[in-house]
Amino acid sequence: MRPGLPLPLALLLCGALLRADGLSDLKAALKGLPAPAKVTVKVEAESLERESGKDRTERRTTVVEDGSEGTRILEDSRAAATPAKAKGGTRAPGAAKKGSGEFHDELRPAEGLLEQLEKARLLEERAEAYEGRPARRLRLAMDLDLDADARSHLKKADYEATVWIGSDGLPLAMDHHIEVRARVLLLASVWTKVDIRRRFQRAQNRLLVLDEHADVQGAALGKSFSAKETTRCTVL
């Protein structure tokens, strides 16, 4: 009869098997966040779009209050520059709308992250400090969530994400890289590449976006286009 494993080694192996991976830790930490307390945030956004040699730049500063009663816009530079139309225009400052999606990604990113991570697969995990803080770096294969018809036109579809999580399992930053090539209308082709970097912050018991940089490039029907967008959130 062969001797069994020494007890300390057996315990060590059991602990390694039972220990969750970084992706599981991230999901658990996001699900474990308490109900968000009320917070007031200044959201500064700037975008640059280029198509057919023409540039269009837009800047917007908004002060938003978000809590259990919904999202309330306190100040909005866009509303001040462009008066709301009688019907279907920009919502006036001070109006509250529960579950408003306009600033949902910035003020409540945990919900969107959990949806994105539902079908994610962990490709690599390693210890790697982020901006001087101890962290784990996770490389993930993500799902584009396309229907069968859309997938039938694809020639290439890559979507990977890299996320740095802190000791509490919550994200410190996340990079998205998406590249899609497709064929439409028999001979026409479409190409798009999207790179997004997000950094997160904690305020009271909430997870919030600190800043986001998005870079989009592509071509469709022989015409190229590009867009850059930067968003920064400051807790007031």
pLDDT at 223: 83
Single out the residue of 180, 175, 178, 134 nearest to residue 156, CA to CA: 180
pLDDT at 157: 84
Q: What is the pLDDT of residue 185?
A: 67
d(CA 137, CA 10): 28
Q: What are the φ/ψ torsions at residue 59 (nearest 5 degrees)? A: -125, 140
Output the six-digit token pair for 214.
Answer: 């998005």
pLDDT number for residue 54: 83
10-residue mean pLDDT series, the chain (236 residues): 50 47 95 92 94 87 92 87 47 47 92 94 96 96 82 82 97 96 76 95 93 93 88 97
Rounded CA-CA distance 174/193 in Å is: 17
pLDDT score recorded for residue 103: 93
pTM summary value: 0.80
Which amino acid is present at 148?
A: A
Interatomic CA distance for residues 56 and 48, integer angstroms: 6
pLDDT value for 50: 85
How crowded is residue 40: how many other Cβ atoms within 10 Å of its Cβ? 15
Cα–Cα distance for residue pair 45/232, rounded to 1 Å: 7
In the prediction, which pLDDT does 125 show?
97
What backbone torsions phi and psi does residue 107 show, to the nearest 5 degrees? Answer: -95, -25
Dihedral of alpha carbons 164, 168, 169, 170, sign: negative
Evaluate the CA torsion angle 96, 101, 104, 110 in order and state its sign.
Answer: positive
Task: State the pLDDT at residue 172.
Answer: 98
> Which residues neighbour 121 within 8 Å (Cβ) at sequence distance 6 or greater?
140, 141
Tell me, what's the pLDDT at 8? 54
